[in-house]
Each structure stands twice: as structure tokens, then as C-alpha cells.
Amino acid sequence: MARGSESRFANRVVVVTGGSDGIGLATATQFAAEGAHVYVTGRRPSALDAAVAAIGNGAVGVSGDVADPADLDRLYDRIRRDHGRIDIVFANAGISESAGLDAIDAAHIDRLFDVNLKGTVFTVQKALPLMTAGGAIILAGSAAGSKGLPGLSIYSATKAAIRSFARTWTTDLKTRGIRVNVVSPGMILTPAMDRYLTANPGTEDALKQMTPFARLGTAEEVAKAVLFLASEDSGFVAGDELFVDGGVMAV
């Protein structure tokens, strides 16, 4: 939908962390196409610049790492100067690493906790002074947060914690009229997934067999779910988890 046409997000100020590719990029693109003022973050300046060009519609890229509170301060200072408010936050930035129980070390735990947990907490916490009633926060979960997948115990634990954040923050923010929900993808063909499948022949067929729809999902399908949770269409949805997984968790 082009800017200037009827839109759910006209003039809304939207933050998408981890917006350089995959689900973040697809979501930022859809928000911008529906009239939002979109701000995206990423750790790789060149990839972020390419993403901003692809999103178009006046999107702004602010390079930074959500694990670094100073980088988040720069992001929100920029938005404060430009608009003085934030309407929607998609706390999407995260990393995935695998390690068997016998191979887990402190560095592995620190990397995942710093980005997935601390990064999510401070992304939301530092946005709150700019948010008003009617705002929406969407957290990036994962079906792995509810499944016992081999080699993913620390990653899965971070995603289970994010699911818990949506419950507790819904309680914390209910008097402010700010909704918090989680979108939890299943097997989605992002650039990171594509690299993993290329390095592990035969895995794609196994993942399809796990999925009732017998295919991998697309980043655009997850983005549509995020926009639903950000919109007034989900105005009575709070503290919930929306799986976008082709039926893996339900069947």
C-alpha cells in the first residue's frame, strides 16, 4: 500500500530493531508502505544502509547494537528530536547460537543473554518515556521457547523469558494503555536460515516434515502478524503469544 492511501499506520512512529534483513526488514517495509515513520537499527552499517534504501518511504537507519545501552540512547534521542514520541516498538533484534549441554560456556550464555534478554529489556525500557496511551510493543519470540530442541537450550531459554516479559509487562503497563504481545515464528526462510540450510544438507526436508503445512514460512508472513498486533485490529489482545509456524505448536 503506497503512502497517501488509506492506511492503518499513517504518521505512526515505529521502531524496528534488527531491521537490516529477514523478519525485521520485511516488517519495517510493510510498516513504511502503510504510512509509518519507520526507524530501523542494525549492527552492520553497510547492511543497514541497504535496508533503508530498500524500505524507502523516508525510513531512517540508526546504526547500533541493542546490547549497548548507549546505542539505544542515540536511537531514541534521534526520534525525540524528530517526532517527540514513539507509537510502536518491534523489539526484533536477536541472535541464535546452538551448543550442546556439554559445550555450553560462559561466553555462549553471555552473548545470548546480552542481545536477546538485556537488549530486549533496554529496547523497551528506554522507549517508554516517549510512548503514550494506545501504543503497542511487540516482542520477537520463537517456537523454540516452547519446544525442547536439541542444542538450543540457552537460546530457547531466552525466548521463553521473552514470552514471560509480555505477561509481566502487560501488567506493568496496563494503566498506561500500552499493549505488549509476542510474535513467535517457527521455521521461517530468512537469510540466516538459508545459510544454515546450505551448510546442513537435508535439514530443509526435515523441517518441512515437522511442519503441518509442509513448507517453510516467509518473513513477510511473520511481518503481517506483527502489523496485526501493532494495529487497532488487535486492540483487546494483550500479553499474548501469536505463533506463525504453519501449525507446529498447535497440531
CATH code for position 104? 3.40.50.720
Whole-number Å distance between alpha carbons of 167 and 238 = 8
Is 4 a domain residue?
no
Is 213 a domain residue?
no
Tell the residue number behind the cell numbers 545470548, with chain if given: 112
What total of structural domains would you count in the chain? 1
**Which of 39, 76, 155, 196 does the annotation list as catalytic?**
155
Q: Is the CA virtual torsion 196, 198, 204, 205 positive or negative?
A: negative
Active-site annotation holds for 76: no
DSSP 211: S
Cell matching residue 63: 546504526
CB 3 within 8 A of CB 33: yes
Is 177 a domain residue?
yes
Of 135, 137, 164, 142, give the one whose Cα is nearest residue 226: 137
Let me know if 132 is exposed, middle or buried by CB neighbors in 10 A (0-12, 13-18, 19+): exposed
From first to last of its 251 residues, the chain has per-residue pLDDT tens of 444 445 899 999 999 999 999 999 999 999 999 999 999 999 999 999 999 999 999 999 999 999 999 999 999 999 999 999 999 999 999 999 999 999 999 999 999 999 999 999 999 999 999 999 999 999 999 999 998 888 899 999 999 999 999 999 999 999 999 999 999 999 999 998 998 889 889 999 999 999 999 999 999 999 999 999 999 999 999 999 999 999 999 99
Q: Does pTM surpass 0.75?
A: yes
Is 195 a domain residue?
no
Is 78 a domain residue?
yes
Residue-range definition of the domain harbouring residue 166:
13-189+218-244
Is 117 a domain residue?
yes
Is 124 a domain residue?
yes
